[in-house]
Amino acid sequence: METTDHRVSTVADGMGAFALDLNGAGTAVLHAYGQEMNSASVTVAVSDGTEVQLVLSPSSLMQDATVTATRSGVEMGPAAVTQSSLSSEKLTKYPALTLDESLRQHAGFELFRRSSGWIQNPTSQGVSLRGLGSTAVSRTLILANSAPLNDPFGGWIHWNELPPATIEAVTITSGGGSDLYGSSALGGVIDIAAAHPQEPRADVSIASAGEDTRTANGRGDLQQGKWHELAAGEDFRTAGYILTAPAVRGPVDVPANVHFENGRVEVDRTLGLTGRAFVTGNLLNEARGNGTPVTTNGTRLWRYLAGDDWSSGTRASGRARLFGSDEAYRQRFSSLGAGRRAETLTRVQKNETQELGASTDASFHLAHIAFVGGADVRDIRAGNREKPATALQVTTSRQRFIGGFGEVIAEHGRWSGAASIRVDSASNLDTTMFTGPVATVIPNRNEIVSSPRVGVVRQLSRQVSLHGSGFRAFRTPTMNELYRTGQVGQETTQANPKLVSERATGAEGGVTVALPRVAVRATYFWTEINRPVAAVVISSTATSILEMRQNLGQIQSQGIETSVDVNEGHGVSGSFGYQYAHAVVTKFSAQPTLVGNWIPDVAREIATAQLRFQNVRFGELTLSARNSGRAFDDSANTFVLHSFFQLDVYGERRLGRGFTAFVSGQNLLDRRADVARTPVLTQGIPFIAQGGVRYGWGARNN
């Protein structure tokens, strides 16, 4: 409750009843908040004995009618996109050690290697949505506070980059997003709502898990008038586990492991009633062992971000961002002898990347129509040093992206829709490749790409709506794909400086049903990518594979994506998801035998389920299940990755005085998934148990 003189707060009991001491106030504003609920407020004249009823609705059941995929955040009727949100509560109270594992609650989400970011090399952590697949690079754009998180050199994702306590929610938008964000958003956009400083608070979490795994993270916020500060960090280390399947292990196989620290600081200044200016710095320091004594890699990544969010009345709003990063990455590769008994260092890589970018967008909002426009620029400079058995190889290069977009959003009666178009200039510049003293200069390249999108929604009733959309999207090859040789296990992938951009055309249509206790969404999707970049097998033996990145002729993915939320926000609730993706090669004149083959590392079917139990006395429990169909690990479809089922559990109970104890178990059945055949089979996590305690102090933790 807030009056002109002071603010008081209380916590409702298990029946939702509460009482406040009004201290003689004549008028007050009552605010109500609930976990995973939309807030409610009311202004009332108060006196002793006044009764007030505030009704909170579950946020997840309402999200399809309120969220929008526009960069500006304009809310005008349902959006013609398939979008789902995971709150910080759902991310935290889920059996997972890293963010990417938590995102597997979404049926369409998968990583390139079907494993976890706390063990797998970061170069195998590209995201696949809707069966579009990935290699090291992700065909999905990851954002945090409207700035890109994809690695500027390789396009993969550093899932350990953000302290967990600073992630407030994650929104997954499937389908092309190049009309608003340009390159890298070909398959969709994952938007991480990174926390800004709030009222004074402190959070600490300490946990221990199997495989000698320990983690500690925390966050603290301060406030002085209009100034707010935030500091957060995490320390994570694990002895890991052996990736290679037991039947083919040798003396060189040791546990793959990781030790990383991350940290984030932010200073905010409130501007007016709703504006905000802020400066943020983020650091990731990571060291990994990749499963043999010689193969190691490490990352040191600094990111910085400055932003301004503003509004002018109720009709105009906008934001500006200035962002950049400085990264140093190192990796060692090896070859293995017969029986995996001996290991020889074959290649040492070091690359350094600097990134600088800026973006801005603004919207003007009338009664039934809104106009949005924006522009951004991004400049990336990198140097890659490789020391193979032959002469030292050094490559320096630069990429620059400049783009602008416009969007119109409108609603009329039961109809709403949006139309947008973006034009991008993508350039590869100043590339020189040295092999020993010999220099090869690669000519500059530039392309202009337009990315339109149109979508419409028809509200049949308060509970039922139909939506449909069509789009064009693109992705420019990363410098990693163009110039760097990569290796996973004994699978070596050569670079190809002749790669050109991928172009996608797609459409979707679906239905949304939002009942008081059940929300259902079903969407049919179709996406066709011309010139997709893929690793094509050049030669293969029993112990090694040699591939080269090439532009295939065409791939296509079509299928259905469904989600069901039941009883959200109640004592017993459930979430269910299913994706069927028929993802195949449809054209490739260079190797016609590949036509009809499955896209590598894409399962045809994925199903997920979570059951949640909440009780004030006994605590909370989450049961999670995921089933993934079989896939192939190569373009020729000769290396089978079998289907797998994983069952996980998470439980917690409040201990009082801000303390909460929690436990979790991953892969309860100890059935390890096939992760890769390179060509030796590697496997996913064994059974992992975790236990820990959290402490929270401050208004949000009372």
What digits encode the pLDDT tens for the residues 133-155? 876 678 899 999 989 999 999 89
Selected residue with higher pLDDT from 634 and 222: 222
Mean pLDDT of 98-105: 92
The pLDDT score that the predictor gives to residue 15 is 47
Token pair, residue 528, equals 């066709």
**Could you say which DSSP state residue 124 is in?**
G
Per-residue pLDDT band at 645 (split at 50, 70, 90) = very high
Residue 9 has pLDDT above 70, yes or no: no
d(CA 648, CA 104): 12
d(CA 63, CA 36): 11
Q: pLDDT at position 616, please?
A: 86
Closest CA to 499 of 448, 432, 550: 550
For residues 23-49, average pLDDT: 51
What pTM, to 2 d.p., does this model score?
Answer: 0.87
- Which residue type, as a one-letter code, is found at position 22? L
Closest CA to 331 of 346, 348, 343: 348
Percent of residues, the chain, with pLDDT higher than 90 = 63
Coil vs helix vs strand at 340: helix
Lowest mean per-residue pLDDT among 66-75, 212-221, 276-285: 66-75
- Give the mean model confidence (pLDDT) for residues 454-472: 94
Q: What angle do CA 322, 327, 333 make, to 5 degrees?
A: 150
Report the pLDDT value the prediction gives residue 137, as an integer from 0 to 100: 76
Average confidence score pLDDT of the chain: 87
The DSSP string of 40-108 is EEEEEE--TT--------BHHHHHHHH----TT----S--SSEEEEEEHHHHHTSS-SSHHHHGGGSTT
d(CA 228, CA 702): 20
Read off the pLDDT band of 67 (50, 70, 90): very low
Q: How far apart are CA 376 and CA 370, in angstroms?
A: 20
- Tokens representing 478? 């990363």
Q: Is the pLDDT of residue 39 over 50?
A: no
Decide: helix, strand or coil at residue 700: helix
- 453 and 484 Cβ atoms separated by less than 8 Å: no
Q: Residue 7's pLDDT is what?
A: 55
- Beta-carbon contacts of 349 under 8 Å, excluding residues fewer than 6 positions away, are 329, 330, 331, 332, 333, 384, 385, 386, 387, 484, 485
Candidate from 51-60, 297-306, 561-570 with smallest mean pLDDT: 51-60
Strand intervals (E) in 337-462: 343-365, 369-387, 393-412, 415-435, 438-442, 445-459
pLDDT at 550 (0 to 100):
86
For residue 332, CA distances in Å to 148, 188, 301, 566, 680 come to 27, 32, 18, 48, 19
pLDDT score recorded for residue 2:
44
Rounded to the nearest 5 percent, the helix, strand and coil shares of the chain are 5, 60, 35
DSSP for 569-628 reads TSSEEEEEEEEEEEEEEEE-TT-GGGTTPBPTT--SEEEEEEEEEEETTTEEEEEEEEEE
Beta-bridge mates of residue 209: 213, 690
The pLDDT value recorded for residue 73 is 62
Residues in CB range of 441: below 8 A, 6 or more apart: 431, 432
Instruction: Give the pLDDT of residue 230.
Output: 97
pLDDT recorded at residue 43:
47
* Mean pLDDT within 398-419: 93
Q: In which band, very low, low, confident or very high, does the pLDDT at 52 lie, cut at 50, 70 and 90?
A: low
**pLDDT value of residue 116:** 83
pLDDT value of position 48: 54
Among the residue ranges 60-69, 314-323, 501-510, 558-567, the one predicted with the least confidence is 60-69
Is it the case that residue 453 has pLDDT exceeding 80? yes
Q: Quick one: average pLDDT of 407-418? A: 91
Query: Which residue has tokens 């490739």?
Result: 588
Residue 271 CB neighbours (<10 A): 14
255 — pLDDT class (breaks 50, 70, 90): very high
pLDDT band for position 552 (cuts 50, 70, 90): confident
Query: 682 pairs with which residues across the strands?
Result: 244, 676
The region of weakest confidence among 101-105, 226-230, 270-274 is 270-274
Taking the C-alpha atoms of residue 367 and residue 617, their distance in angstroms, rounded to an integer, is 48
Q: Which top CATH class is 65-701?
A: mainly beta
Parse the chain into domains and list their residue ranges.
1-56, 65-701
Average confidence (pLDDT) over 32-36: 48
Residue 426 has pLDDT above 60, yes or no: yes
What is the reported pLDDT for 92?
92
Supply the pLDDT for residue 51: 64
- Residue 14, SS3 per DSSP: coil
- CA 553 to chain CA mean position, Å: 28
Q: Are 159 and 117 in contact (CB under 8 A)?
A: yes
Of 80-84, 111-115, 151-155, 575-579, the range with the highest mean pLDDT is: 575-579
Instruction: Work out the average pLDDT over 512-538.
Output: 91
Is the pLDDT at 496 greater than 80? The verdict is: yes
| Per-residue confidence (pLDDT) for residue 547, from 0 to 100 | 81
Stretch 407-417: mean pLDDT:
91
Q: What percent of the chain has pLDDT over 70?
A: 87
Residue 69 has pLDDT above 90, yes or no: no
Short-list 255, 245, 247, CA closest to 295: 255
Binning pLDDT at 50, 70 and 90, where does residue 50 land? low
